Amino acid sequence: MSKILTISIAAYNVEKTIDQCLSSFLTSKYLDDIELLVINDGSTDKTAEIVSQYQEKFPNSIKLVNKENSGYGSTINTSLQLATGKYYKTIDGDDWVHADELDRLIECLRKTSADMIVNKYNCVFPDYIKISRFYYDVQIGKKYVFNELTELPKMRFDMIQMHATTVNTEKLRSVAMKVTEKCFYIDTEFIFFVALASNAIEFHDSCAYQYRLGRDGQSVSPKGIYRYIQDLITVTLCLMSLFNKIKSTLEEGYKKDYLFKVIESRYILIIKWYLLFIKKNDKDYLWADFRKKMDLDYREYVEKFRMPMECRLAHRFPNLLHVSRLLLKPVVLYRTSRVLLLSVVHKLMKLNINNQHQ
C-alpha cells in the first residue's frame, strides 16, 4: 500500500459543500500520502463535475468514483474495496477537515502500530462550535489492548465515534465488514465493525474532523428521526443478529462487553427517540413489532439490557407508548418526583404480571 491514509468521502448532491470539503485537504503538507476516494452516490446536481475538476488538478490524491444511488452505507462498502491506504477513515461531503490537525494525525499514523486511533473532532453548529473531548482518563500516544480498557477510570462505552475513528484497512477487511445499504444510522454498524476488527487502540489529541450540524432535515434532526426511525430499528436488528452469531468466538472481556453495549445503547436510543421526538402515533406499530421480534429471537440479551427509568415503561409495555410520552412531558416531570414516577412504572408492571397469571 503506497498511501498511509485512505479517506472515504460520501458525496450525494453536495455541490454547495464539496468544494469546502476537498479544498480543506489541499494545504496539508502530507497531501501526497493521502488517498481521497470521493464516492459519488448517484448525485443529480453538479457534485461529480466539481470533483472531476479537483481530480484533474490532484490526480495523485483525489479519485472520483461514480455509482448508482444506494445510500451512505454503499459509499463505505465501495471505498473499503478500493482503498490502498494503510489506514481508513470516513468523512461526509458536507463536512471538512482542519489541515494542520490532519497533519498531526498522519504523523501519528506513520509511527503507530495500533489497529485503531481515536482522536477528537469538532461539532460545528451554525452559531457555535462544540469541541469533543475524551470522557475518560487516557494516556495520549500509549497503545492499549482493547480488553484491558476496563482498567481505565471513567471509561465509557461510547468512546468510539465514527468521526473520531481511524482504523487499519486490512484489519477492517478481515472482519468482512459490509454495512447496510439504502439505510440511515449505519454509523452504528461502522463502529461495531471497527471495534470488532481492533485489538490495539491508541488515543491521539488531534482534532481534524469538522462535523457540520444544526441543519433541518439531517437524520438526527427531529424531522429526520421521525422519517427514518425504521432504519435505526433495521440497523439494531442486523447488529443483534451478527452478535448472536459471533458471540461464541469472542474472548470474554471488555471488547465483548463493548460490542454488546453498542447494541444496548441503540435499543435505548430507539425508545428515547420515540418518547421525545416522535409525537405522532402512526409509527408506534414499528416499535411494537421490533419489541416483539427482540423478545422472540433475542430475549436472553434483552433481559440483560440496563435501561434508565424513563425507558422501562415503554420497554415493558410496547403498546402503551402514549402513556410513556405523557409521563415524560416537561410539566409532568416538573410536578412528579423520580421516585413517584418509578413507583408508577413498577405498579403497572406488577399489574400486568398479575393479569398474565389470571
**Cα 73 → chain centroid:** 12
Contact at 8 Å (CB) between 8 and 91? yes
- pTM of this prediction? 0.88
| The pLDDT value given to residue 252 | 86
Contact at 8 Å (CB) between 25 and 105? no
> What is residue 142's DSSP assignment?
P
> Residue 235's CB: how many other CB atoms inside 10 A?
24
Sheet with 96-97, edge to edge strand ranges: 96-97, 209-212, 121-124, 129-131
Hey, what's the torsion of the CAs at 301, 306, 308, 310, to 10 degrees?
Answer: 30
| The pLDDT value given to residue 352 | 52
Q: pLDDT tens digits for 91-119?
A: 999 999 999 999 999 999 999 999 999 99
Which regions of the chain are under pLDDT 50?
331-336, 353, 356-358
- What are the CA-CA distances from residue 255 to residues 149, 165, 194, 200 (Å)? 8, 16, 11, 11
Q: Give long-range contacts, CB 8 A cutoff, 24+ apart: 330-339.
A: 338/309
Q: Which residue has the cell 389470571?
A: 358
| The pLDDT value given to residue 8 | 98
Q: Which residue has the cell 461514480?
A: 66
> What is residue 17's DSSP assignment?
T
| The pLDDT value given to residue 151 | 61
Q: pLDDT tens digits for 266-313?
A: 999 999 999 888 888 899 999 999 999 999 999 999 999 998 877 887
| The pLDDT value given to residue 76 | 98
- What are the CA-CA distances from residue 130 to residues 14, 106, 207, 214 (Å)? 23, 23, 12, 12
